[in-house]
Structure 1
Amino acid sequence: MTDGPWRPTLLLVHGAWHGAWCWEKLTSVLRAEGWRTRMVDLPSAGRQSGVQDDARTIRAELESIDGPTVVVAHSYGGIPVTQATAEAGNVAHIVYLAAFQLDIGESLLSFSGAPVPDQPGDLEAVPEDPVALFYGDVARPEAEEAAKRLVPQSTRSFADAVTQAGWHTVPSTYIVCESDQALPAQIQEKLAARADTVHRIASGHSPFLSKPVELAALLAAIGDSVQAHMNGRTS
């Protein structure tokens, strides 16, 4: 690969209970292939922050990136990414990785058919048996180490509704994780119907840990496609 004038930066946005640390294995592969990557730590992980707070964090990071960006959102991270990318001028593509690609007026709870409390509680504890839920196809020692790094998640972030949706105007790709125990594939397929393109990977909920090379290759292919499109527009 060689850098072109419009080669995008990849901004990776983690899901609930996680942090930017979860992308480290994937970013080492991507950077070895010459990709520029950025990550954020969402305030809703460990603090009583909501979707808008997370979206502001994402927008601030986007504003610090010079040039076009492909935003990769995992799981819950799809919600603030959807919110944030509606106002960001440098987002060329959104990738939803087993993520909630919600529409305006939807929250994680409402989309899931769960009641939305008027006064959300403080923090949602880390789920029971996170190894099985999130890391079922990750080597056991690595999965157990990852589980130790999880933190309580703001309950408010699950209740907050999306007020604007970037994927209405920004091209999007959905990556279905076919063996996902946290967000079942049949639910992902419903969300994926909102994306412009759909790919599938034979993995659990966290392919950035279980299949980083395969996921990196897929993200690189998406990034190359975005670059080709941007170069075509500017040639």
Structure 2
Amino acid sequence: MTTAVHGKPAILLVHGAWHGSWCWEKLIPELTARGWHVVTVDLPSASADPDDNAGMYDDAHVVRACLDGIDGRVTVLAHSYGAVPVTQAAASATNVDRIVYLSAFQLDEGDSLVGLSDGQMQSGDTGTLPVPDDPAKHLYGDVSAEDADHATRLLVPQSLKSFSEPLTAVAWKTLSSSYIVCEQDEILPPAFQEAMSARSGRSYRLPSGHSPFLSMPVELAGLITTDAGR
């Protein structure tokens, strides 16, 4: 059981496809300095082992187990694909105050990433999705060259199964949610993010690429904290 320290609010950080909890290394100290108790999770669908085939439901199970292990109310920050298992898992959790969707897929019941791929992927596909081409540009366009190189070396393949499994529960329909649009995102178009953000109660904008936790951690932490006050 993870207990919030000295009454600090708890926040669970859930990474996107190809990533791991390592991606929060610059954001964590900024949140901690603002009074948050930070918890992270590694989604099994992102794995360097080619034999791993964890899907979205496996990821949701891990997120739910992490939520169950936190004693007290929780804010969840979900980045990109990570929002899909968060939306699934938080629907049945009893301690989630709100979800913050960060350049994320805020999907509805029955939706999956395969369903958004315009036929480029099929629901029966197995195996893994390789790391996107030129991640320094598409994932880390506004991140320093040194940090982008470091992050790129840590990326791992993502299971196709995780993109295929549809949502059967939708947390944002019953929980408070906010959306952060990343205006310079080169992998998830801002126009798509804006459409997703209409499903949240509040929306914000950052002049960042897809990964503001690396390029703008101070601003991101401040925005999360400000939104919590609302």
TM-score (norm 1): 0.91
Q: Distance in 2 between matches of 1:31 and 1:211?
A: 16
Q: 1:89 to 1:122 in 2, by over 3 A?
A: same
Q: 1:38 to 1:182 in 2, by over 3 A?
A: same
AA aligned to 1:187 is F
Q: Structure 1 residue 119: deviation in Å?
A: 2.1
Q: Which moved more, 1:25-34 or 1:144-153?
A: 25-34
Which residue identity lines up with residue 229 of structure 2 in the other structure? D
1:200 aligned onto 2:205: yes
One-letter code of the match for 2:46?
A: A
Aligned-residue CA RMSD (Å): 1.6
* Correspondence for 2:91: 86
Q: Which consecutive unaligned segments of at least 5 residues does structure 2 have?
A: none
CA distance in 2, matches of 1:154, 1:190: 26
Letter in 1 for 2:113: L
Question: Cα offset for 1:33?
Answer: 2.2
How big is the shift at 1:187? Answer: 0.5
Q: Is 2:71 aligned against 1:70?
A: no
Offset of residue 111 of structure 1: 2.7
Q: How far did residue 4 of structure 1 move?
A: 11
Aligned equivalents of 2:106 and 2:160: distance in 1? 19
The aligned residue for residue 99 of structure 1 is: 104
How far is 1:222 from its partner? Answer: 1.8
Deviations 1:77-114 (A, max 9, x none): 01000000100000000000000000000001213433
Partner amino acid, structure 2, of 1:50: G
1-side partners of 2:6 and 2:41: how far apart? 25
Q: Tell me, yes or no, if the aligned pair for 1:6 and 1:68 is still in contact at 8 Å.
A: no
Distance in 2 (CA, whole Å) between partners of 1:18 and 1:4 is: 27
Cα deviation digits, residues 6-56 of structure 1 (max 9, x gap) = 753110000000000001110011112221110000000013111110000
Among the aligned pairs, what percent are the same residue? 50
Runs of 4+ residues over 3 Å off in structure 1: 3-7
Give a deviation string over 1:123-153, Cα, whole Å, max 9, x none. Answer: 1111110110100000011101100000000
Confirm or deny that 1:185 pairs with 2:175.
no
1:8 corresponds to which letter in structure 2? P
